[in-house]
Structure 1
Amino acid sequence: MKKSSLYKALLATVLVFILSAAGAAEISKNEYNRLRQVEKTLQQQISEMEAELKTSKSLANYKKSYLAAVPATAPQPASDAEMAKILAGARYVMLGDEHTTNQSQINTANVLRMMRAAKEPVTLVIEWVDISFQKEIDAFLAGSLPLKDLRARISFDKLWGFSWASYAKILSAAKQLKTPILLVERLKGNHSLADRDSFITATIVAHAKKATNMRYLVVYGDYHILGDGHLSSQLAKAGLKPQTILIGDAADIYWKLLGKGKDPAKIGFASLSNGIYYIRNGTPLERSLSYRDYLMKMLGYKKSDFEDWVGPADIVPQAGGRNNFEALHSR
């Protein structure tokens, strides 16, 4: 691909992110504090319901390992244009997926577009379709199986159960960009996290041996993406490196960026350290609200079961007018 064509492709992808930030406005210090209180309420409700799930010790340790690996350094905002150039040249990209937020799946499609702006081929690796349905996915990409029929053919609702409308965007983007999809997950079985990561690694490595110039976008839940012995670590040990890692489950990073930049709509990417970046797969409030609602549906909770209620309107940042950060500090 010629440089001019590459830059045009990158520009088109970047515009998708920029347009979503239109109408941005700064928030006041009081509004910032209000949002933090809303987050606290949501986390309390989530903790109450998670206590009923009896989370396994292995999952708790897996999460702990992920959180320990999240860089503690101050995040440095990265523009969409900067990330587009990085991703266009990246060989192995590990992208965290927040299953319950639509923004996360939109971001997956956009990151794929950024990678496909370069001439080298890319294979998309996804978590949410069982490995036994590779032929069905290939048929969809080839145009012989309509999207409307694919949902049932891959048992999406039974085996995954999150928003089909959100995840279908990724399939459509892959088809439009002529990007093959590699299935590596065994959703039909019950496997430990360690066993899953090992199997996924072996499957990707086997594929890479047959496609020596292939680049990969591996999209999995955040906990797989970072952590000692987790998927990214196993892939690196197998020789699939250097890696560009993008994580979204990092609430502290978001709040640091908001406290510094003051404008929620301008928070997108941020550099953390050593090829690790933050990507806003929904704000912490959006992520918590969608996850709380998911747990409520699964466990049969009602609005009246909580002492305090937080709804969609409560998580929307309100512009601060004269009560913005600058005004507060200049009085």
Structure 2
Amino acid sequence: MASSHSASSQSPNQHAYVYLVPLAAVVIWSVNVIVTKLAVGAISALSISFYRWVLAFVLLSPFVLPKVWRQRQLIWPYLPKLAILGLLGMLMYQGLAYEAAHTTSATNIGILNAMIPLFTIAIAAVLLREKPTLFAIMGGIISLTGIIVLIAKGNLPNIISGHLSSFHLGDLLMLLAVFCYAAYGVFTRLWQLPLDLLTNIYLQIGFGMLFHIPFVLYDGFSPITAQNIWLVLYAGTLPSLVAPLVWVKSIQLIGPSRTSIFINLTPLLTATIAVFYLNEHWFSYHSMGALMILGGVIMAQLGAARKNTP
């Protein structure tokens, strides 16, 4: 990490360049939503999720496994917590996201991902006893309304009449996935495991990989083919390994608050790529739902930032 002197002596151009670091992570994650959608029909949801973590585990093993073995006595007491993190982050979030892609659009997946910060605030209020601010509560109400608009495709009478035929099951699965990932983030902060980043990620990936095995054995393995191998290679490298490391580097460079704001670009980037690459259509209800969800999340984040400012 750069010293405070070198950081303070950065030129304006160098300082602006630093903001490309979190942007790179967001672009990788946005493209991964497109890859998730492209996987539909090319490989089963469980198989790509499993292969993804197997690849990431294999790539990390030469660098991390010797360290894990040396630190095995330190690591042993934390294995149950690492297992829970692997279950929530690697199996539940990623597996549900791949399954959701079968019945909803990449655009919707990207927009619903924007709810992660808000769900994080809600779960932290329960588990960490962090009282939400009025801004957070108002933001939550606005965002939840945006979700209803998005899932109902802007046809609110469907909600009132209980007519659910126009709903996408994938939207509900994605909401569950987002909730699991928010819980993953809260538990990560709650437990503060005394392990370095690579060791932490490696062991979580290992547990995530193990948790997949019973499901893929039951569901059956999709073969890796010339059509889907690039999807597995992308998912197992850039979003699984590179983006998390880049994100942590961004936190070190510009701080967690400024870094977290960049995650709000994910829906916009995902929708833009989906419209041009997947020929998905952007409707008025996407605009209305996205504006309400993002507006509510930003309001909640600003409220949290004001609360934490001395």
**TM-score, normalization by structure 2:** 0.29
TM-score, with normalisation over the residues of structure 1? 0.28
Whose relative contact order is higher, 1 or 2, with alpha carbons under 8 Å and at least 6 apart?
Answer: 2
Normalized per residue, the structure richer in strand is 1
Higher helix share: 2
